Structure 1
Amino acid sequence: MAAWKSSDLTDAEFTADLMPPEELEWRADLVFRLLDGCDWAGPDPYDGLTSPLAVLAVHPLLRQALLQTVKRSPVDLRPLLAVRPLRTATACGLGATACSRLAAFPLWRGRARELGRWTSARQLRGRHAGLWSYEFDVQTRWGYYPASMPNIVATAFCADGCLDSGTLDAGSTERLAAALLDDLYTGRHFAYTPASGTLIHNANLMGAALATRLALLDGMPRQLASRLLDAARSAVSVTVRGQRPDGAWPYGTSANLDWVDGFHTGYVLLRLDTAARGLGLEQNRAIDSGVRYYLEHLFDGPVPRYYADERPGRRGGGCGDPNNDATALRMASWAEERGYVRPGFADQVLEAVGPFLPEQARKPAGHATLTGPPVRRSPRWSLAPFLDALTAFHVARSAG
């Protein structure tokens, strides 16, 4: 893979020494303790439809209005609307993956197993047995899906967490593989939910990466493994063909899904890399072009942008969204590891986003209540992604 060294990406405006792995583990431990202290339960940007008032929102516009009002209100409306803290399988699955990276340490291995067992117990039964869903209904621009309906994002994060922690038995793994193909594969790409055929690039590649991983597991029946690999190859091909000439991927293919943002672009690149390696495909040109676009248009120096080329300080830009910030840190350490940026860029990104972590994550352990804006207290949207990014950074830095 080609490397390029743009001075814009590593300017001395944000200077940072290379952080030792021990410091990264210490920071990850603080974030874990925050999550453990609230039992991995908290607010979520998309929890508005868990309010009892949601039964009155019978039209998609009303559902979206309620969800977005709770999400964007400068005052936390959740207590008034009886929206309770949620413990989600998605956050716990991502946490299991994060902790599994440090499984050489008994403490982290035990944490990974505990989170993995809890997540595996939330695997759906019945019609969509083997998959995972969110714990809340969601209304988006492109569709609606209830909490009872599985989706590829929850399934990918939960399945990876269970597989990483070794908490998914053979029968559950085989059911997952079959349901992934039967319920979420359209014959061409992986869909976000069984009810939608819309091509969402990050969701499609999450399905491709998971299908590849499952196909390569020891004990996977040969015929099922072959179907998984065929589906993964098709899905990768679809998204690679959907890359724009400038290297970007829009969120999706519908007319109202043509925006480009940071964390979904990060998901696309990470999962494309994972799937291509597992399938033995040469996708360096697509990945190189995508990384170039990501670094040049979704960062302002080491400060993550939410939308492409957005000025820092605007809505959503410049450390405005914790999931985007965490994904930017995850991508920065990955880019260092792959030689796209010189060592130290990930440290600069951590220096840029660090002040936007919940205040307690920058203090010694023992400081009690988790405070701050709801979005930054969210286990699924903020704390678990930061835990994932910090442990990935630790592994990359430990490897030199």
Structure 2
Amino acid sequence: MLKPTPLPVDVKSIADLLLDQCRAEDFSGYDPFDGLNSTAFDRVGGNRFSLARIAWLQFHKRSPFNLRKLVGVPKMRNPKGIALIILGLLERCRYERSEFELNEAVALGDWLLTQRADPIVWKHHAWGYHFDWAARAFYVPCGKPNAITTCYVARALYALGEITDARRFTDAAIDAGFFLDGLHLCESGVDYYGYIPGETAFVHNASLWAAAFVAETATRIGDESMLRRALRVAHQSVSMQRDDGSWPYGVRSHHTFVDGFHTGYNLEALELLGRTAKTKGFSDAIDKGLHYYRENFFLPDGTVKYYNDCVWPLDTHSVAQAVITLVRIGGTEKDFAIAKRVLTRAHASLYLPDQERFIYQKGRWVTNSVNYLRWTQAWAFYALSVYAVSLETRPDEIE
């Protein structure tokens, strides 16, 4: 069977435009959750009150109008966003070697090394967000590391180390595995990795991604007990997969929702963990989860649903993870066909040709077109790069 026919839109050209726009801003930008970086909010004392912090952050996250410049929120680099840009650049280098883009990735990687969480407080390499983060369950100050950001930065650094043979990147990524292993918790016989140091919330995607990178470190240094712990944690989440193949976001009462991009995270993490540990023990869970994912998160026209039971909001991040999951974890002719429909639909519904970028979200009644680097443009660039490279590098036959 022949390779899939090309998209009616030029994926690589759109990725180029996104990259050029990010370069023009020196890879800095706004984020849905950066409202607490507001100098105005700080001056009036809002940061002293937890409910005020949550309300202020959520107002800026949900508002279709970007008021950040008005209230003194600066554009900044986000470590996870930079990691996604690096991953996209390295995808392109796999089939179209560009010394400029490789050097650009290395420079961004070196920047990430400077952004590790305070080494006086945190013994091992770890990364957090560049803003205070307030939610119902916890408050996380700027710079405090978390599992997901650390995992994505470690992915980027591992990839850089492999392509450049630069030990500074590989060593930092290996060291990050020790930070992640330090998040291990066991409550009432339930093994998992926490999302944030000192917090006990059990969130499946954070626990699985941490398990994948703890296993990476364990494998590289030959620590069998560390590897067994990572596998035990992963099997905990697998045991909590529902019969239909789905996972709730987490185990708390307000974490029972099932959404697309976190489901994709879970499948990616399990696949990586299986490869790292050289085990097929997660194959059934991946197959079941992937079947659920295909059947419950896509409309026939390629629209990506945000939740399993609700289409809205249409979200560029959901689209990006859908493409990566379908191409990387699925990889069949059917998956490429769905990914093609997804990108075609996203281009029609979420892309702004006159501004050469994607919007954040489109709700049933309100569209939020705010330009976010980490949540939107970096994810889109990475996903488009993965898709373009997958078409270039696949054999003529699709099994």
Q: Deviation per CA, 1:13-68, whole angstroms, max 9, x where unpaired?
A: xxx94349x94333322221111111111111001111131542434322211111
**2:71 aligns to what SS in structure 1?**
coil
Counterparts in 2 of 1:242 and 1:141: CA distance versus 1, 3 Å: farther
The aligned length equals 365
Q: How does 1:1-400 map to 2 (within 5 A)?
A: 17-19=5-7, 23-52=10-39, 53-54=41-42, 55-104=45-94, 105-106=97-98, 107-124=100-117, 125-128=119-122, 129-166=124-161, 169=168, 171-182=171-182, 184-187=183-186, 188-217=191-220, 220=221, 222=222, 225-279=223-277, 280-301=279-300, 302-311=302-311, 314=312, 316=313, 320-334=314-328, 336-337=330-331, 339=332, 341=334, 343-355=336-348, 356-359=350-353, 362=356, 376-400=370-394
Preserved CA contact (<8 Å) 2:316 2:360: no
**1:131 aligns to what SS in structure 2?**
coil
Q: Which residue of 2 aligns with 1:10?
A: none
Q: Percent identity?
A: 27
- CA distance in structure 1 between the aligned counterparts of 2:353 and 2:26, rounded to whole angstroms: 18
- CA distance in structure 1 between the aligned counterparts of 2:22 and 2:180, rounded to whole angstroms: 30
Counterparts in 2 of 1:171 and 1:267: CA distance versus 1, 3 Å: closer
Q: Deviation per CA, 1:121-166, whole angstroms, max 9, x where unpaired?
A: 2122222141001001111233221113110111011111112112
Q: Deviation per CA, 1:214-246, whole angstroms, max 9, x where unpaired?
A: 2333xx3x3xx3343123202211110111111
- CA distance in structure 2 between the aligned counterparts of 1:198 and 1:323, rounded to whole angstroms: 23
- CA distance in structure 2 between the aligned counterparts of 1:190 and 1:37, rounded to whole angstroms: 38
Counterparts in 2 of 1:375 and 1:87: CA distance versus 1, 3 Å: farther
Any gaps of 5 or more consecutive residues in structure 2? 362-366, 395-399
- CA distance in structure 2 between the aligned counterparts of 1:374 and 1:159, rounded to whole angstroms: 31
**2:334 aligns to what SS in structure 1?**
coil
Counterpart of 2:371 in structure 1: which amino acid?
A: R
Preserved CA contact (<8 Å) 1:78 1:84: yes
**1:189 aligns to what SS in structure 2?**
strand
| Structure 1 residue 381: Cα displacement | 0.2
Decide which moves more: 108-117 or 195-204. Answer: 108-117
Counterparts in 2 of 1:89 and 1:250: CA distance versus 1, 3 Å: same
**1:42 aligns to what SS in structure 2?**
coil
Counterpart of 1:18 in structure 2: which amino acid?
A: P
Preserved CA contact (<8 Å) 1:43 1:374: no
Q: Which residue of 2 aligns with 1:9?
A: none
Counterparts in 2 of 1:333 and 1:173: CA distance versus 1, 3 Å: closer
Preserved CA contact (<8 Å) 1:27 1:361: no
Q: Deviation per CA, 1:185-215, whole angstroms, max 9, x where unpaired?
A: 2252111100212110111111011122223
Counterparts in 2 of 1:340 and 1:201: CA distance versus 1, 3 Å: farther
| Structure 1 residue 168: Cα displacement | 5.6
Counterparts in 2 of 1:137 and 1:177: CA distance versus 1, 3 Å: same
Any gaps of 5 or more consecutive residues in structure 1? 1-15, 364-369
Preserved CA contact (<8 Å) 1:251 1:258: yes
Counterparts in 2 of 1:395 and 1:361: CA distance versus 1, 3 Å: farther
| Structure 1 residue 375: Cα displacement | 5.9
- After TM superposition, the score normalised by the length of structure 1 is 0.84
Counterparts in 2 of 1:323 and 1:376: CA distance versus 1, 3 Å: farther
Preserved CA contact (<8 Å) 1:70 1:76: yes
Preserved CA contact (<8 Å) 1:152 1:192: yes
Counterpart of 1:299 in structure 2: which amino acid?
A: F
